[in-house]
Chain A
Amino acid sequence: MGHHEKQSIVSIIGSVLVIGFYSLYVYRNYIQADMELLNDFQFWGKSFLYLIPVAIVVQIVIQILFAIANRIITQEDLPDITDERDKLIELKCIRISHWIFILGFMLAMGSLAMGMKPYVMFLTLISSGFLASLASEAAKIIYYRMGA
């Protein structure tokens, strides 16, 4: 298994852990105590704003730990160049994640248009962002296996 594939698997695990623990934390500490918070826009705004930097920092830490562990275990150096195939795969994966997020965005707006509660829209947005990130990493693994 190549370095990029391992990196994508670690990234998927990281994303699942971040979204899982963050959702659990927010639910236990805030929503469980006051279900009315689900309809509070300020609460959703804060949740989104905290989630983004937390996810980025956790992913960076996980990737650093993975790079160190990988170096120790396999004695392999990290690839120091990004060639045309890497760029092509990256572009294909970005396209897939954009399409999934656009679909999620449409569903989120659709839920509002159908008169559903605002929290459905926010949950759909978070879910589509999460799924888009997962799909992008999964596609990366597939493309690296297929060749491009």
Chain B
Amino acid sequence: MDNEKVFISNNIRRLRFFAGEMTQQELADRTGVTRQTIVAIENGKYFPSLELAFRIAHTFNVPLSDVFTYYPENDPVHKKLKAKQVKKEKQ
């Protein structure tokens, strides 16, 4: 399970755009983290704690499910992303 890549996508970039092109630094300041952490979350390199995830959702005034989307193993998107990951690892 630890080595298994978790597929959670996020809409932070889109939400920032609709929030008047909010900067990563501004979002970081509002949620109490560094800009680097926001960059890592946006790029799907870091999955935030539940608390931070809620703080991000609260900043945009949207439910958590509008910010993050989880793809279960039997989901076609999960399979697609996994195949993409395997292909990337082979290269």
Contacts and interface: CB of A to CB of B under 8 A. Distances in A.
Contact of B34 (A81, A146, A147, A148): A81
Given A147-B46, A148-B45, A148-B46, A81 B40 contact: no
Contacts of A83: 32-34, 37
B33 A81 contact: yes
A31 to B, nearest CB: 45
Contacts of A147: 40, 43-46
Interface size class of B (residues with CB under 8 A): 10 to 19
A86 interface: yes
Interface residues of A, number: 12
Contacts of B43: 147
Contacts of A84: 33, 37, 48-49, 52
Given A81-B32, A144-B36, A147-B43, 12 more contacts: A4-B36, A79-B34, A85-B36, A85-B37, A85-B40, A85-B46, A85-B48, A86-B34, A86-B37, A147-B45, A148-B40, A148-B46
26 contacts: A4-B36, A79-B34, A81-B32, A81-B34, A83-B32, A83-B33, A83-B37, A84-B37, A84-B49, A84-B52, A85-B34, A85-B36, A85-B37, A85-B40, A85-B46, A86-B34, A86-B37, A144-B36, A146-B45, A147-B40, A147-B44, A147-B45, A147-B46, A148-B40, A148-B45, A148-B46
